A and B are shown apart, each in its own frame.
Chain A
């Protein structure tokens, strides 16, 4: 026997090489399970092919009016420019600094001018790697839109010279690293005869709040000017005083609100200032047009701009507690992990943003007791709703009337105001309607709080020529008059006392109008004489009515094509006692004698504003709603029957369900088709998509992040202005266009990229309760009404494009500090009136009718929000009649200790943003009828939305089948595994044979 082949030296290296490659192939194949969607996306492949029966009519979903990628891009960029033009807020304009005269010279200062912060990264939109030419920097925008004379030397200096921005972070703290005036010495002469555009930039983003301490701002925070920035302002002011510089115009490029005490500081010589937020790809074109007077700024502030960001009660809490999140006092004793140990308390209650400043101001003017020393003008730089124009508008002829339903009950109010342009240039004016509800004796007794004014409606005029007038009509829902009484009646009430509506230019104007109508003027200590003609008492309620708002007025959409005639009438009562430390005894504040948290109250401002640290400890009382641990036991329903699995006796496809009522028996048949594994894996693998289900021909739907622009796109234009700017337009149709543009972009196949999205994780709807919230760019405002109105306008238009909206993050995710599991504590009145209200607008089928939502990382009290049946079922589905599906935030990333399947599914969560598998389903869960019926209901919701409202059904008919196909990369990887395994095995055999022959020969 010839044995030469066995003796070759190659077998050993072959064995080692291929054995190693075999192991690599095992890992690679394993990686295809969690990352299949990403790999499919990369290669543009799918595991299934749709097969259509001949002659069967398929559903056709039109791409609406935007047909081509070029149409969409043009439209998107135009909307971005328009939104920025109408959302930019003119804060100050003295010495005729703006608009800039034609041909005048502009120069630039501060690093931000050369390095604009366009958008946040990640959940917003990418700001780097953009397509060449897609983003408009300041110089390019000014040159493209105006005939201003740009000073290139100063631009180059701040863009790439010694004055460039080196913004960064160190040890988790943001720094501006702005250079100082000394570095400007070489370019000082370049500023001669120019208007200086000074851009102050602050970054922010997901995962962390901006630094409230330890940064280079003069007050230690990232949001105040730094010493170097001050030196530059002083240097520029010196040039101005020497007659070299004409004017100084500040642009504030930030989504988080800066400490704005510097704008009126005479030392800095600032003539004009505008808030431009984050402008997105083409927004600076709109800013440039405003600077040059080609557009007249008509944006109004969506947040209160303060002179001291620590003056609001929520931020006072940050200051006394060394940040928002604190650790429970007994965390070591209880061995709490990092997703359990942190808490934050919303001690300000309903007094968020302007609700605090205007209320305390009114109490000072009305000389209420215990109001303390408070000077509005020292605290507030620019009120909520504030904004200047290059022209002037006068309001007159305010009228209101009740609108009644067929039963003669008041349904809403209409408010008419005539707006006249009394200036010399054309412009638009947003009319804001504010409501004052009474702060009654009842409130004082039961401990209810009442902000002095609340925004309840707005509309914007068209472009008014000088001298022209327009009658603006604003509708105010009667339900806006309700207040939540968590103490006595435990429901929404119509309080006793007088209700006023006022048409105003901002929140401070509003309270002054109301004060004027009550007879309070400068003579009584008001800082301005309000216009009593613009404030009307609309109701004088003689006693508390605890019935009128105690039942839900939401209407269901059981038939996907129309609303039910009658409201659901669910009784509204307390559901959130468990997240109020003072009502729920599972925690207590060890820092106070009575163990309670002190909420801010207008009954006693001085005695209730945060002045000492809280020290919450978990007491262990209170039962399950206290229980901070995960995997709660499932309470079996004795009547629950295990659903059928894989029963295909009635073969159904999802396309057959188009238009079928939610209570139709067909849904039971189609659900019977599914196996437990199919059902489970569909619901736990919603990591940016919902999986295809071949057995019922459910297509895969693709979703992506994108509160203000689709993320993960190679396109540079997919970057809208930040949400604060979007809602500062106070222009609902324009906000709707944002929804349309973003949705059209989502559905476009960018330059042939395999990406046609059917859903977007948008808009962001949390509240700007403090200036330091890291994700401010993704959220609209400090005001719940404005948030709800803007989100609704966007959602309605998105969904008209067949893109399922998934607003986020439900709920109380207003900060980023320790967001993974942080316990949020507050009272139910604040929870309902501030944080839940915009969601009610977005989710109710009879309002914006969002078809899905994303829950949050944090907890409500001790319970993960997505596992709170009070929030997810009783309020969301019971009171609001929400009929879409709910999706978690990234359960597949850093929340696996508490964002768990059993707790979520049992309490109203439908889908997990995760890469789970059937092996994650424990035996107990597999065998629990109660649990499996919950899963089945979740699947029904997902299928109902997909069948009726998703663009993914485009081209599907009742006979469409999904056929599994061989995907080249899967085949390749499998072949690689087999090949390397076979070669390694063969090499091993040859090697062993060689050694054996060698031994045998020796023995011979």
Chain B
């Protein structure tokens, strides 16, 4: 692994880690704190399911980059680097599911929050902790989604070059 290679692998792995942690925290925040009067006290299983899927594939991507960085050297490292981006892609797709299902499944909560803004009246009170957790979870899903896609695209652009270099060696 050359210097340029490792210089890139570190931030890429780091960003993937951020995406992984974001999806992890997002899913935990939603699953643990968003049971409310809007969903019968039980967070949506489908949202949690997509979240767990995103966590798993993000984790695979992070492990791939970590292995490429710390455990495996040379040509195999470049291959791992090359393959790990599919974890990012998969994370991107599953996070889309997680994000949009979070909106779809919690339309009552969203409606109650947005109603006073749209109507200009006070509206029903919503537990501020619930609002904070829900929106934080939503934003973290979005952040993880964007990071996952960006990382995947960057790695794709660079991986051919690294592969060629490692094969040349």
Chain A contacts to B: CB under 8 angstroms = 12, 15-16, 19-20, 22-24, 26-27, 30-31, 34, 120-122, 168-169, 172-174, 203-208, 337-339, 774, 816, 818-821, 892-898, 900
Nearest chain B CB to A56 CB, angstrom units: 42
**0 or 1 for each of B80-120: is its CB under 8 Å from A? (1 = yes):** 00000000010011101100110010011101100110111
B121 proximal to A (CB < 8 A): yes
Given known contacts A23-B97, A172-B122, A897 and B37 CB-to-CB distance under 8 angstroms:
yes
16 extra A-B contacts, CB within 8 A, seeds A16-B89, A120-B121, A895-B37: A19-B89, A23-B96, A24-B96, A27-B100, A27-B101, A34-B107, A168-B120, A169-B120, A173-B122, A205-B120, A337-B41, A774-B121, A820-B124, A892-B108, A894-B38, A896-B37
Contact yes or no, B93 A20, CB < 8 A: yes
**Chain B contacts for A774, CB-based, 8 A:** 121-122
**Chain A contacts for B111, CB-based, 8 A:** 893
Q: Complex Cα distance A20/B146, Å? A: 12
Q: Complex Cα distance A27/B127, Å? A: 27
Closest to B108 in A: A893
B76 proximal to A (CB < 8 A): no
Q: Complex Cα distance A964/B108, Å? A: 30
Closest to A209 in B: B122
Contact yes or no, A205 B112, CB < 8 A: no
Contact yes or no, A208 B123, CB < 8 A: yes
Q: Complex Cα distance A208/B123, Å? A: 6
Contact yes or no, B121 A12, CB < 8 A: no
Contact yes or no, B108 A897, CB < 8 A: no
Contact yes or no, A121 B121, CB < 8 A: yes
Nearest chain A CB to B35 CB, angstrom units: 9
**0 or 1 for each of B56-67: is its CB under 8 Å from A? (1 = yes):** 000000000000
Closest to A819 in B: B124
Given known contacts A27-B97, A122-B115, A338-B37, A12 and B156 CB-to-CB distance under 8 angstroms:
yes
Given known contacts A23-B93, A24-B100, A893-B111, A205 and B122 CB-to-CB distance under 8 angstroms:
yes
Given known contacts A30-B104, A207-B124, A20 and B119 CB-to-CB distance under 8 angstroms:
no
**Chain B contacts for A120, CB-based, 8 A:** 121
Q: Complex Cα distance A20/B123, Å? A: 36
Q: Complex Cα distance A774/B123, Å? A: 10
A–B Cβ pairs within 8 angstroms, 15 of them: A16-B92, A16-B152, A19-B93, A27-B96, A169-B120, A203-B120, A205-B119, A205-B122, A206-B119, A206-B121, A208-B122, A338-B36, A894-B109, A897-B41, A898-B37
Q: Complex Cα distance A255/B96, Å? A: 46
Q: Complex Cα distance A122/B120, Å? A: 10
Q: Complex Cα distance A169/B116, Å? A: 10
Nearest chain B CB to A978 CB, angstrom units: 17
Q: Complex Cα distance A31/B110, Å? A: 15
Contact yes or no, B124 A894, CB < 8 A: yes
**Chain A contacts for B104, CB-based, 8 A:** 27, 30-31, 34
Q: Complex Cα distance A204/B121, Å? A: 7
Closest to B41 in A: A897
Contact yes or no, B124 A208, CB < 8 A: yes
**Which of B37, B92, B120, B152 lies at the interface centre, i.e. has the most chain A CB atoms within 10 A of its CB?**
B37
Nearest chain B CB to A887 CB, angstrom units: 17
**0 or 1 for each of B152-169: is its CB under 8 Å from A? (1 = yes):** 100010000000000000
**Chain A contacts for B38, CB-based, 8 A:** 893-894, 896
Closest to A19 in B: B93
**Chain A contacts for B94, CB-based, 8 A:** 23
B39 proximal to A (CB < 8 A): yes
Nearest chain B CB to A32 CB, angstrom units: 10
Nearest chain A CB to B123 CB, angstrom units: 4
Q: Complex Cα distance A27/B97, Å? A: 7
Chain B contacts to A: CB under 8 angstroms = 36-41, 89, 92-94, 96-97, 100-101, 104, 107-109, 111-112, 115-116, 118-125, 127, 149, 152, 156
Q: Complex Cα distance A895/B111, Å? A: 13
Q: Complex Cα distance A34/B101, Å? A: 13
Closest to A122 in B: B119
Nearest chain B CB to A6 CB, angstrom units: 16
Q: Complex Cα distance A24/B94, Å? A: 10
**Chain B contacts for A168, CB-based, 8 A:** 120
Q: Complex Cα distance A338/B38, Å? A: 11
Contact yes or no, A169 B122, CB < 8 A: yes
**Which of B39, B93, B122 lies at the interface centre, i.e. has the most chain A CB atoms within 10 A of its CB?**
B122
Which 7 A-B pairs have CB atoms at the shortest separation, nearest pair first? Answer: A208-B122, A205-B121, A121-B119, A896-B40, A207-B123, A893-B108, A27-B100
**Chain A contacts for B116, CB-based, 8 A:** 169, 207-208
Nearest chain B CB to A126 CB, angstrom units: 9
Contact yes or no, B122 A207, CB < 8 A: yes
Q: Complex Cα distance A900/B39, Å? A: 11
**Chain A contacts for B156, CB-based, 8 A:** 12
Given known contacts A16-B92, A20-B96, A203 and B40 CB-to-CB distance under 8 angstroms:
no
Contact yes or no, B37 A337, CB < 8 A: yes
Partner of B121, one of A208, A820, A897: A208
Contact yes or no, B121 A20, CB < 8 A: no
Nearest chain A CB to B122 CB, angstrom units: 3
Contact yes or no, B125 A172, CB < 8 A: yes
Q: Complex Cα distance A569/B112, Å? A: 44
Nearest chain B CB to A215 CB, angstrom units: 12
Nearest chain A CB to B61 CB, angstrom units: 14
Closest to A28 in B: B100
Nearest chain B CB to A859 CB, angstrom units: 13
Nearest chain A CB to B119 CB, angstrom units: 4
**Chain A contacts for B115, CB-based, 8 A:** 122, 207
Q: Complex Cα distance A774/B120, Å? A: 13
Nearest chain A CB to B158 CB, angstrom units: 14
Nearest chain A CB to B107 CB, angstrom units: 7
Q: Complex Cα distance A894/B106, Å? A: 10
Contact yes or no, A207 B37, CB < 8 A: no
**Chain B contacts for A896, CB-based, 8 A:** 37-41, 108
Q: Complex Cα distance A818/B122, Å? A: 12
**Chain A contacts for B109, CB-based, 8 A:** 894
**Chain B contacts for A12, CB-based, 8 A:** 156
Closest to B119 in A: A121
Q: Complex Cα distance A121/B119, Å? A: 6
Q: Complex Cα distance A95/B37, Å? A: 57
Q: Complex Cα distance A438/B37, Å? A: 47
Q: Complex Cα distance A24/B121, Å? A: 34
Contact yes or no, A26 B97, CB < 8 A: yes
**Chain B contacts for A20, CB-based, 8 A:** 92-93, 96
Q: Complex Cα distance A207/B152, Å? A: 46
Given known contacts A27-B100, A172-B125, A821-B37, A894 and B112 CB-to-CB distance under 8 angstroms:
yes
Q: Complex Cα distance A820/B36, Å? A: 12
Nearest chain A CB to B99 CB, angstrom units: 9
**Chain B contacts for A169, CB-based, 8 A:** 116, 120-122
**Chain B contacts for A818, CB-based, 8 A:** 125
**Chain A contacts for B112, CB-based, 8 A:** 893-894
**Which of B89, B108, B111, B152 lies at the interface centre, i.e. has the most chain A CB atoms within 10 A of its CB?**
B108
**Chain B contacts for A205, CB-based, 8 A:** 119-122
Nearest chain A CB to B109 CB, angstrom units: 8
Nearest chain A CB to B85 CB, angstrom units: 9
Given known contacts A20-B96, A23-B94, A31-B104, A339 and B121 CB-to-CB distance under 8 angstroms:
no
Q: Complex Cα distance A876/B70, Å? A: 74
Q: Complex Cα distance A208/B118, Å? A: 15
Given known contacts A893-B108, A893-B111, A122 and B121 CB-to-CB distance under 8 angstroms:
yes
Closest to B104 in A: A31
Closest to A206 in B: B121
**Which of A173, A206, A900 lies at the interface centre, i.e. has the most chain B CB atoms within 10 A of its CB?**
A206
**Chain B contacts for A337, CB-based, 8 A:** 37, 41
**Chain A contacts for B39, CB-based, 8 A:** 896
Q: Complex Cα distance A821/B37, Å? A: 10
**Chain B contacts for A122, CB-based, 8 A:** 115, 119, 121
Q: Complex Cα distance A174/B101, Å? A: 35
**Chain B contacts for A821, CB-based, 8 A:** 37
Closest to A821 in B: B37
